[in-house]
Amino acid sequence: MNELLLVDKLNHVLHQLKNTFTGKDDIIDLMGICLAGREHIFLLGPPGTAKSALVKALAQLLDGDTFEYLLTRFTEPNELFGPFDIRKLREGELVTNTTGMLPEASLIFLDELLNANSAILNSLLMVLNERVFRRGRETKALPALMIVGASNHLPEEEALQALYDRFLIRVNCQYVDPQQLEAVLHNGWKLEQSAPATGPLISSEEVKQLQQLIGMVNLDNIRPEYITLIQQLRNAGLMVSDRRAVKLQRLMAASALLCKRLVAIPADMWVLRYIWDTTAQQEIVAGIVNTAIATHPDDGNEHPRARVNSLPDADEIYKELQLLAAQWQDTSVSSAHRSTIKDRLRYLNSRCEWITNPTQRHFVMQPMDALWKKIMQES
């Protein structure tokens, strides 16, 4: 099948998802990159931010099975991989009945991934590393196209760090901007009322073919700049292992492929914005990557996410706070609009948590706190 047709099919899937989920374009684009690049993605965010819904909607547009599970400290291997087959057990064989379980799924979503305990940790690492399920003498290759992990916190225990490390891409999944809430409600209501997708837009086999095309992308032109970028990130304190550096090439190649190119360009390095280990590193990593990309002009054939920075801009937030303060002072403003101002202020307050520069954060929080104080006094 023509390679460009496969690319068009996957891009059509991503477009469908963007039409359904407001304010999730960055996550959807990164899911597309990981799906084409045969790598895994980790979503950091609180419950109710559409993490599970995104995976389910993506699964409806594929033709494979999906496995979704909420992990707890007490999750046992049987809950993920299936129980032993009783009939075989009577015959003295240890065979796992994997029907409907993780080993049969094309898409896997593990919510609260970092609750994983030692009983399932090694099995999960093998699934992530080699896409293989092994139990006793059993060894089974998995059909998994991509694994999505999610949590509302980052790993604190060293044992879980290895699990987290297997997810090359990490992205924040937060509540949408209140200004987009109307669109969220509209699309969410349509989703509630509509029937499930009429059928897959791309098959699992076609996704696998697309994943094989990754090796055809030529990275020679950008490899010197990529090496420099990896060194810069390491010097800034980001632990980019040789293994991760090698695997990240697949995601840069996926960026090129989804733009219908078989030659990578420096802008394809945008995916490295999302390889941070801690929230404090996000702004630093994004700044280094953005600077590397900005030295090259946009040739019009870049990935649409290449020059988009989703991190909060302290100056922009400060300007909006000044505007909100002026609106609140206006006595002609309706009570409904004042309620909107409060909602917007709460959103900006949450965005400020992602400003890692303490001077900038203090600069923004001063007018934020002053406006909240005024609002509370008048309430």
Q: 165 pLDDT band (50/70/90 cuts)?
A: very high
pLDDT digits 0-9 by tens, 1-58: 577 789 999 999 999 899 888 888 999 999 999 999 999 999 998 888 888 888 888 9
Decide if 305 is inside a domain: no
Is the domain of 124 the same as that of 267? Answer: no
Is the domain of 12 the same as that of 157? Answer: yes
Decide if 202 is inside a domain: no
Here the CATH number for the domain that contains residue 67 is 3.40.50.300
Decide if 340 is inside a domain: yes
Q: Is 300 left (phi over 0), alpha (psi -120 to 50) or beta?
A: left
Confidence (pLDDT) at 359: 85
Is the domain of 7 the same as that of 146? Answer: yes
Decide if 364 is inside a domain: yes
Instruction: Report the mean per-residue pLDDT for the chain.
Output: 87
Decide if 231 is inside a domain: yes
Is the domain of 23 the same as that of 147? Answer: yes
Is the domain of 323 the same as that of 290? Answer: no
Confidence (pLDDT) at 258: 94
Confidence (pLDDT) at 356: 63
Decide if 208 is inside a domain: no
Contact status, residue 112 vs residue 7, Cβ threshold 8 Å: no
Decide if 187 is inside a domain: yes
Which residues neighbour 373 within 8 Å (Cβ) at sequence distance 6 or greater? none
Examine the fold and report which residue of 134, 160, 193 is the final residue of a domain before the chain moves on.
193
Domain count, the chain: 3
Q: Which two tokens stand for residue 198?
A: 């009429």
How far is the C-alpha of 241 from the C-alpha of 231, rounded, in Å? 11
Selection from 165-174, 262-271, 368-377 with the highest mean pLDDT: 262-271
Is the domain of 175 the same as that of 319? Answer: no
Is the domain of 231 the same as that of 365? Answer: no
Examine the fold and report which residue of 142, 158, 193 is the final residue of a domain before the chain moves on.
193
The dihedral through the CA atoms of 48, 52, 56, 62 has a sign that is positive
- pTM for the full predicted model: 0.79
pLDDT above 70 for 261: yes
Which residues lie across from 109 on neighbouring strands?
Answer: 68, 148
Q: Hey, what amino acid is at 196?
A: P
How far is the C-alpha of 267 from the C-alpha of 113, rounded, in Å? 31
Is the domain of 184 the same as that of 152? Answer: yes
Is the domain of 41 the same as that of 151? Answer: yes
Confidence (pLDDT) at 297: 85
The dihedral through the CA atoms of 35, 148, 168, 246 has a sign that is negative
Is the domain of 31 the same as that of 76? Answer: yes
pLDDT digits 0-9 by tens, 301-350: 889 888 876 566 788 888 888 888 888 888 787 887 788 788 788 878 76
Is the domain of 141 the same as that of 12? Answer: yes
Domain residues for 363?
A: 314-378
Examine the fold and report which residue of 193, 208, 231 is the final residue of a domain before the chain moves on.
193
Decide if 300 is inside a domain: no
Is the domain of 289 the same as that of 318? Answer: no
